[in-house]
């Protein structure tokens, strides 16, 4: 009886163990099936994703156009003439004949100093001249009489020579008196202060009634001429050969027009005036490695003001029929500059290829391609981050290559 129970217990345990094994097998089969399904689904999705990986891009056509080559430098506006009006004599400022800020011409009366002391000095000099002139006339008459007497031996020769020496003495005195009269007249004329040059007046430095001296350094008023005006700007020493070459080329120009220079505001958003290069300094500043240049502008609109900071652009040449693209199309890599050129591939689909190029002069919006690109070829300007060589793309828009600034 006990043996029978033992066999029944073993059979029950064996059945229970078999049931657990079946469950384990079922779970393992389910896990393997799930893994296979996920691998198949992800692979299919990846294949579909690769098939749909056509990034959108925006392109622009390379354009052949004339591009002026500008050299940029920071400059300061200076008046073409800057004169401090001062008095040339000491005296009391009697009257001012100008208003601050007005334009004057050379010779216009600006101020008057009390002329009475100078008039008195002139009258005194004239009186002295008249007295000495009368003495000279009398001495000459005596000399004429002495000459006749000396010829007849009625007087000694020594007396005649003494009289002739006296006449010469009076002649010298009269000449000195005439110079004194001229000097006094000149001092009197200095009491009327006139404009030495044309220009615009600044703020006055002295008021009527004050005593002024010729040694005063503050002066009465300052005159500056800003039409025309000058701009002094600097360029790096590396650009000096370009300037010298351009100057030599202009020496052969029939018109002999100066190199064009543009003056832009500090933000380089507004063109203030257009002028011409006057001169190039004869040495380079060792402390900064730059050279100074001076340009003159007509400034008829008054947009340039003394001591104003401007951005100067010197045009040294014009590149004829240069191939240009938007600056955003040019990329830099380990092998140098390149662009993505968009064209149809063998399947008739739009695709891009990497094209090494040699960029030339560039601005924020436009870059000249010296080598590696032909006019009309399309380059990618937007959507560059997902591109690689040979990938198919979807062209969503076509941008226009910016036009170069017209040459002067």
Nearby residues of 243 by Cβ (< 8 Å), 6 or more positions away: 71, 235, 259, 280, 293, 314, 316
| Per-residue pLDDT in tens (0 to 9) along the chain, 408 residues | 444 344 444 444 444 445 556 666 666 777 677 666 565 545 444 444 444 478 999 999 999 999 999 999 999 999 999 999 999 999 999 999 999 999 999 999 999 999 999 999 999 999 999 999 999 999 999 888 888 888 878 888 888 889 899 999 999 999 999 999 999 999 999 999 999 999 999 999 999 999 999 999 999 999 999 999 999 999 999 999 999 999 988 776 656 688 999 999 999 899 999 999 999 999 999 999 999 999 999 999 999 999 999 999 999 988 999 999 999 999 998 889 999 999 988 888 889 999 999 999 888 889 999 999 999 999 999 988 888 888 999 999 998 888 887 766
DSSP string, 334-377: TTEEEEEEEEE-TTS-EEEEEEE-EEEEE-SSEEEEEES--TT-
d(CA 408, CA 406): 6
Q: pTM here?
A: 0.69
- Which of 319, 348, 374 terminates a domain? The answer is 319
Query: DSSP assignment, residue 328?
Result: G
Asked if residues 313 and 262 have their Cβ atoms less than 8 Å apart, the reply is yes
CATH number, residue 119: 1.10.287
Question: For position 160, what pLDDT does the model report?
Answer: 84
d(CA 250, CA 246): 6
Question: For position 180, what pLDDT does the model report?
Answer: 96
Are residue 228 and residue 312 in the same domain, yes or no? yes
Are residue 234 and residue 304 in the same domain, yes or no? yes
Question: For position 147, what pLDDT does the model report?
Answer: 86
Find, among 130, 129, 135, 246, the residue nearest to 179 by Cα: 129
- Which of 147, 173, 190 terminates a domain? The answer is 190
CATH number, residue 361: 2.40.420.20
- Domains of the chain: total: 4
d(CA 341, CA 378): 6
> Is 404 a domain residue?
no
Are residue 230 and residue 308 in the same domain, yes or no? yes
Which range of residues forms the domain containing residue 365?
56-65+321-399
> Is 252 a domain residue?
yes
């Amino acid at each position: 009886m006990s043996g029978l129970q033992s066999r029944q217990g073993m059979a029950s345990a064996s059945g229970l163990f078999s049931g657990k094994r079946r469950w384990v097998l079922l779970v393992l089969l389910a896990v393997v099936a799930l893994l296979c399904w996920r691998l198949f689904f992800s692979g299919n999705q990846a294949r579909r994703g690769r098939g749909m990986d056509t990034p959108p891009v925006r392109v622009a056509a390379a354009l052949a156009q004339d591009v002026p080559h500008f050299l940029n430098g920071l400059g300061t506006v200076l008046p073409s003439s800057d004169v401090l009006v001062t008095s040339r004599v000491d005296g009391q400022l009697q009257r001012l004949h100008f208003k601050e800020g007005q334009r004057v011409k050379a010779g216009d009366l600006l101020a008057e100093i009390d002329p009475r002391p100078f008039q008195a000095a002139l009258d005194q000099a004239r009186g002295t001249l008249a007295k000495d002139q009368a003495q000279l006339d009398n001495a000459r008459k005596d000399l004429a009489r002495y000459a006749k007497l000396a010829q007849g031996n009625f007087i000694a020769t020594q007396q005649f020579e003494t009289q002739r020496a006296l006449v010469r003495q009076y002649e010298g005195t009269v000449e000195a008196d005439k110079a004194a009269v001229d000097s006094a007249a000149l001092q009197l004329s200095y009491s009327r202060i006139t404009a030495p040059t044309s220009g615009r007046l600044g703020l006055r430095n002295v008021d009527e009634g004050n005593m002024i001296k010729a040694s005063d350094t503050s002066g009465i008023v300052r005159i500056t001429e800003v039409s025309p005006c000058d701009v002094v700007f600097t360029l790096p020493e590396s650009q000096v050969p370009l300037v010298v070459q351009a100057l030599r080329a202009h020496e052969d120009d029939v018109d002999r027009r100066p190199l064009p220079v543009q003056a832009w505001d500090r933000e380089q958003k507004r063109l203030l005036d257009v002028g011409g290069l006057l001169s190039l300094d004869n040495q380079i500043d060792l402390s900064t490695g730059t050279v100074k240049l001076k340009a003159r502008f007509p400034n008829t609109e008054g947009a340039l003001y003394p001591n104003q900071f401007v951005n100067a652009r010197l045009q040294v040449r014009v590149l004829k029929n240069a191939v240009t693209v938007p600056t955003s199309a040019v990329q830099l890599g380990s092998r140098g500059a390149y662009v993505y050129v968009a064209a149809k591939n063998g399947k008739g689909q739009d695709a891009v290829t990497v094209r090494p190029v040699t960029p030339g002069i560039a601005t924020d919006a436009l870059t000249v391609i010296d080598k590696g690109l032909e006019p009309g070829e399309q380059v990618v300007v937007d959507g560059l981050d997902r591109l690689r060589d040979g990938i198919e793309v979807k062209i969503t828009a076509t941008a226009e290559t910016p036009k170069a600034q017209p040459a002067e």
